[in-house]
Amino acid sequence: MIAIEEAEEILNRITCRPETEEVPLIDSLGRVLGQDIVSRISMPPFDKSAMDGYALRSDDDSRTFKIVEIIAAGSVPVKTINKGECAKIMTGAMVPPGADRVIKVEVTEEKDGMMTITGKDKRENICYLGEDVKPGDMILNAGHLIRPPEVGIIASMGLNSVTVNKRPTVGIVTTGSEIKEPGRELEPGQIYNSNAYSISAQVKQTGALVKYEGIVSDQVEIIKQKIKKLLTETQMILISGGVSMGDYDYVPQILTDLGVQLHFDQVAIQPGKPTVFGTRGDTLVFGMPGNPVSTFIVFEVFVKPVLYRTMGFNYTPSIIKGVMNKDFKRKRTVRTAYIPVRFNKENKVEPVEYHGSAHLTALSTAHGLLKVPRGVQQVLKGSTVYVRQI
């Protein structure tokens, strides 16, 4: 059994240079940038009014001004502003020559083509040419994950398509003679297949593609054929179940028989101890213990970072600092535990009701996982903790 950190180190050594492809910007959400985005333009592209109001000269002490022009957003001003003059201007419109200040409409009065200042507005209310971005500025680096703001940023650069890294296909195999697909009636001794669905969802959330191979019963030859096929068709294989100590847990042996080099087959993590990781060529293979909470946590801790890396994205989980609101205690401390916790109404951290690694519904009330390192027996009320968001 190796420590989590050792397993993470092994996984961190996996490198990958994904190929790229061009996609329409509108389809780029969740993809990883395959190119640097360097600006060709200035933002804003001209001195722009930040307010609806009146553009005038800051060296002009008049209280009343002649309105010489009305400037709508999108139109080009034709008049130069002299002392005693102003232009009515809309938010987003070009500031006219001569003017270097905009008085917001709320502190003015307009009558018979004249504007009078009736209140105070100390701001310039002008966004200057290039104050946000200049031509040649590096906007986003290759390897950046495209979230909604990035989609907007790329659009603001005038691009309607973008080069992204190609997505890997992840094969999913569910083992277990007792497992039944949802949508049918359970026979005695059977349970529903939740893993294939939660794992697929986790994979899709990273932006990778899923190739689901269905349920295979605990028979060596059938499992072997499925994995053999996926070894040539996919970049990563996730196998649920069949990795523990039971008589029908065949997966590690099958992987070895298929020429998969195993890098670890037991990790000091709770839940998730029998996790197996191996490689054959460029294909990565995980054997994940079947209990649904184990599967979920093993994906979060081990699979997700390496899967993102194969997509060219250097993922780090989001960790939130909090204060424990209840004691957490445990007896055995050989493994590092991940405990489902939530932030309560006072924003304090408390473990959710959790009966163990089969208790999947516990995760519905959890906001994250509390890492309790090897050797640590208790986390006391009032102590500062770091919660890994799920």
- Residues 18, 77, 176, 278: which binds Mg ion (CB under 5 A)? 176
Q: Quick one: which of 30, 292, 340, 351 contacts ligand AMP (CB under 6 A)?
A: 292
- The reply on whether position 359 binds ligand AMP by CB under 6 A is no
In this chain, which of 44, 77, 171, 241 binds ligand AMP, going by CB under 6 A?
241
Instruction: Tell me the C-alpha distance between 115 and 105, whole Å.
Output: 10
Distances in whole angstroms, Cα of residue 258 to Cα of each of 210, 223, 255, 293: 22, 11, 5, 28
Residue 244 binds ligand AMP (CB under 6 A):
yes
Would you state the structure tokens that stand for residue 195, as one six-digit string? 């893993």
- CB nearer ligand AMP, residue 39 or residue 357: 357
* Cβ pair 117, 107 in contact under 8 A: yes
277-306 residues near Mg ion, rule: CB under 5 A: 290
Query: Is residue 34 part of the contact set for Mg ion (CB under 5 A)?
Result: no
CA proximity to 46, closest of 105, 108, 83, 99: 99
| Distance of alpha carbon 86 from the chain centroid | 48
* Least gap, CB of 334 to Mg ion (angstroms): 24
- Cα→Cα distances 371→143, 246, 276, Å: 28, 28, 21
For the four alpha carbons of 19, 25, 27 and 31, in that order, the dihedral sign comes to positive
Give residue number: closest CB to ligand AMP.
290
- Of 89-97, 140-148, 160-168, 285-293: span binding ligand AMP (CB under 6 A): 285-293
Q: Which of residues 174-203 bind ligand AMP (CB under 6 A)?
A: 174, 176, 178-179, 191, 193-196
In the complex, minimum distance from the CB of residue 214 to Mg ion, in angstroms, rounded to a whole number: 15
Q: Which of 242, 252, 272, 312 binds ligand AMP (CB under 6 A)?
A: 242
Check if the beta carbon of residue 282 is closer than 8 Å to that of residue 14: no
Q: Which residues have CB under 8 Å from 183's CB, separation 6+?
A: none
Looking at the Cβ atoms of 115 and 179, the one nearer to ligand AMP is 179
Residues in contact with Mg ion, counted by CB under 5 A, come to a total of: 4
Residues with Cβ within 8 Å of 390's Cβ and at least 6 positions away in sequence, in order, are 296, 300, 363, 366, 367, 368, 369
Residues 196-235: x where in contact with ligand AMP by CB under 6 A, - otherwise, as a string: x---------------------------------------
Angstrom distance (rounded) from CA 178 to CA 183: 15
Cα(244)–Cα(1) distance, integer angstroms: 13
Single out the residue of 207, 252, 272, 289 in contact with ligand AMP (rule: CB under 6 A).
289
Identity of the residue, 79 or 359, whose beta carbon is nearer to Mg ion in the bound complex? 359
Nearer residue to ligand AMP within complex by CB, 248 or 315? 248
Alpha carbon of residue 173 to chain centroid? 25
Nearer to ligand AMP, 242 or 252 (CB): 242
- 165 and 31 in contact (C-beta within 8 Å)? yes
> Which of ligand AMP, Mg ion, none has residue 39 at its interface (CB below 5 to 8 Å by kind)?
none
List the Cα angle 335/194/32 in 5-degree steps.
80
What residue ranges bind ligand AMP (CB under 6 A)?
174, 176, 178-179, 191, 193-196, 240-244, 246, 249, 289-292
What residue ranges bind Mg ion (CB under 5 A)?
176, 241-242, 290
